[in-house]
Structure 1
Amino acid sequence: MPDSNAKQTIETIFSAEDIQARLRVLAAEITAKSPENLLVVPVLKGSFVFAADLLRALHAAGLAPEVDFLTLSSYRKSRESLGQVSILRDLDLDVQNRHVILIDDVLDSGRTLAFAKDLISARGANRIETCVLLDKKAPRAVSIEPDYCAFECPNVFVVGYGMDVAHRYRELPFVGRLVD
């Protein structure tokens, strides 16, 4: 974990401009499928910036989904998944007979997204799709691929655009990696 007093160098991987352009394309792809009774569920905390910007892009594309939030954790303050997913905050809305799109920041091991998908499925959703900002081409612990993906990402630890290390760097408008 970086020293809070030390200045860290952050290398940009995906710029703010590239992210916004890609969001418009994702919103068009989702809208083209004419989803009905749509519920968008960001998996917090890392996806909150991506989800907010994607929701605005979906609105601009003509969709008006309902939104609820699910807070899951498999990292805590670590840079590596701990291997077990915990529900820190559950949904308020009923997902039964809904078209649900789960939004997550990074798909790497797949545990968190698979856990969320299984949870929503067990609660009776008609259709469940996944949308991730970053698809890391890393070995998966479970078999899952995103339905929608903004970017393929190198297998490095990333920060910014909502993603953090020990609750730092979420405010950055781009996705980057810490340079040691």
Structure 2
Amino acid sequence: MTANIFTLYDEDTIAKRVASLAGEITKADPDRLLVVAVLKGSFIFAADLVRAMHRVGLEPEMEFIHLSSYGAGTESQDIRILRDVESDVNGRDIILVDDILESGRTLAFAKDRLINRGAKSVQIAALLDKPERRKAAISADYVGFTCPDKFVVGYGMDMGHAWRQLPFIGYVVPPKAEATDGKTGE
């Protein structure tokens, strides 16, 4: 896949913000905390966040929900459950962790699902927030960064399954098509 990727948030900036988020969550003093990571994009953020929580004295349990709304494209489509939370959520405080809160449709779906299953509370921790793209009436309780309206990759986020492994968050700028004047170069 050919594209130019420019750094938006570097590794050190991300690490400091994740540690800060863990501190904010600790101050809320959740009871029987269950962290539910929305796969696939949040897996790196969720792992770093629960490790940071451990360092500040929280011992959350960890679960996963795998929802698909993008497929291989860049625009949100219908939400499908590929893997559901297996733990009993009844009476639990839950932090729903996702990589990006954009349209809000996926997180609203997941939050409603957990509340309907008896969760005591469901809060959202989003690494990135794009409020100008919101289509659902939802906001994050914990936000890493407010993100400009750019397509982002890295730190678990992808574009067509590429660039999840990048240790930073970057934005994608597609290469410009070469201008041609009809000549073949001969």
Q: Report the TM-score when normalising by structure 1.
A: 0.94
Cα distance in 1 for residues equivalent to 2:28 and 2:128 = 22
**What residue is the counterpart of 2:147 in the other structure?**
153
Question: What is the root-mean-square deviation of aligned Cα atoms in Å?
Answer: 0.8
Q: How many residues align?
A: 174
Q: Residues of 2 paired with 1:129 and 1:108: CA distance?
A: 16
CA contact (8 A) 1:137 1:155 kept: no
Determine the C-alpha separation between the residues in 2 that align with 1:69 and 1:29: 22
Cα deviation digits, residues 92-144 of structure 1 (max 9, x gap)? 10100000000000101000000000000000000110000000132311110
**Equivalent-residue separation in structure 1 for 2:104 and 2:51 (angstroms):** 26
Q: Where do 4+ consecutive residues of structure 1 move more than 2 Å?
A: none
What TM-score results when the alignment is normalised by the length of structure 2? 0.91
Contact in 2 for aligned 1:137/1:154 (Cα 8 Å): no
Q: Percent identity?
A: 52
Distance in 1 (CA, whole Å) between partners of 2:159 and 2:120 is 35
| Contact 2:150 2:172 (C-alpha < 8 Å) held by counterparts | no
Aligned equivalents of 1:111, 1:179: Cα separation in 2: 25
1:71 counterpart residue number: 66
SS in 2 for 1:178: strand
Output the CA distance in 2 between the equivalents of 1:66 and 1:24: 18
Structure 1 segments unaligned to the other structure (5+ residues)? none
Unmatched segments (≥5 aa) in structure 2: 175-186
Aligned partners of 2:133, 2:47: CA distance in 1, in Å?
Answer: 29
Larger radius of gyration: 2
